[in-house]
Amino acid sequence: MMDQRERFYGLLPQLLGDDERLVAVLAEIGAGYIDPGPVADRVINVGIREQLLVGVAGGLALTGLRPIVHTFAPFLIERPFEQVKLDLGHQDVGAVLVSAGGSYDWPEGGETHMGPRDVALLDTLEDWTVHVPGHPDEAESLLRAAAAADGRVYVRLSAGSNTQPLATDDRRMTVLRRGSRGTVVTVGPMADRTLAATEGLDVTVLYAATVRPFDGGTLRATLNAPDVVLVEPYLRDTSTPQISRALQGVRRRVLGLGVGQEELRRYGTRADHDALRGLDEAGLRRSITAFLA
């Protein structure tokens, strides 16, 4: 199966062909994989210059165009964070930022290429929509919607995907399973393993491919026991404040599961890191059963 990033690279020239308002801005990453064909003038590669990557996007947006900006997560959100804050947010212009590499899609590459802090950093800024697709089909539909919108949108592409697309078109959370002893909210590529880890547990499982805005309405509407577990593929507890806001006034317990802050200084495969960080099926099951016991 073509992964989310490959789907994006194939889709990008089509999107640009269909809408003259769109311009792709790259900083080398992806430039060798995208075949721009007739839209080559609207695929701009600024080289390995990430401050300029986002600055150029802001300038293009000031002329009425809609930039689609792409590189690995740490070079898109962390290195040029002030450009994201000022050249997009403070200028009050829109853009689509599309990252690849997720939290640790290339563990052999080590800490410099890991991007678990992206969503938490964007949470410090105003008015970002954040999509975390869990399947290439979801990635395509969310990218199409982001391209057609006007605001600031972050699409976080992952190497791992669920076997089936699970997201709904209305961007609300999907009810994957209903139970009576708590709720597990799982995000993007974490869905399949969360379902496996909660097999036989009497819990509701909700799935989100769009985490900002956070769909607190579905969480409230489906809530049974006020015990909520959050399974996120990026920094642990990134969305815990969203749960608190959604359940304001309800006495509750919340467990956030995700990537820890600690630098492991370990290489290996994604599966190795899932296990090391307690984010594989066994680790999730361990944490969730202990919390609900």
Partner 1 sequence: MTPAYDDLPALMTLMTGDEKHGASATSTLDVIWVLYDRVLRPEDRFLLSKGHGPMAYYAVLAAKGHITEADLRGFGGPDSILGHHPDRTLVPGVEIGSGSLGHGLGLAVGTALGQRLQGSHARTVVLLGDAELEEGSNAEAIQYAGRAGLNGLTAVVVDNSSASLGWPGGIARRFTVEGWSASDVDGRDHDTLERAFAAPGDSPHVVVAHVERKES
Told to check if 243 binds partner 1 by CB under 8 A, we report no
Residue 111 CB, shortest distance to partner 1, in Å, is 23
Residue 52 CB, shortest distance to partner 1, in Å, is 4
Residue 35 CB, shortest distance to partner 1, in Å, is 20
From 85-93, 110-118, 214-222, 268-276, span contacting partner 1 (CB under 8 A):
85-93
- Pick from 15, 26, 43, 46 the residue near partner 1 by CB under 8 A: 46
Told to check if 39 binds partner 1 by CB under 8 A, we report no
Tell me if 273 sits within 8 A of 169, measured CB to CB: no
**β-strands 183-187, 210-212 pairing:** unpaired
Told to check if 59 binds partner 1 by CB under 8 A, we report yes
Told to check if 228 binds partner 1 by CB under 8 A, we report no
- Pick from 15, 16, 43, 56 the residue near partner 1 by CB under 8 A: 56
Told to check if 65 binds partner 1 by CB under 8 A, we report yes
From 80-88, 177-185, 244-252, 277-285, span contacting partner 1 (CB under 8 A):
80-88
Residue 63 CB, shortest distance to partner 1, in Å, is 3
Residue 85 CB, shortest distance to partner 1, in Å, is 9
Told to check if 74 binds partner 1 by CB under 8 A, we report no
- Pick from 3, 9, 36, 52 the residue near partner 1 by CB under 8 A: 52
Q: What would the two tokens of residue 58 be? A: 């802001």
- Name residues contacting partner 1, limited to 150-179 (CB under 8 A): none
| Residues lying near partner 1 in the complex (CB under 8 A) | 23, 41-42, 44, 46-47, 49, 51-52, 54-65, 67, 82-83, 86-87, 90-92
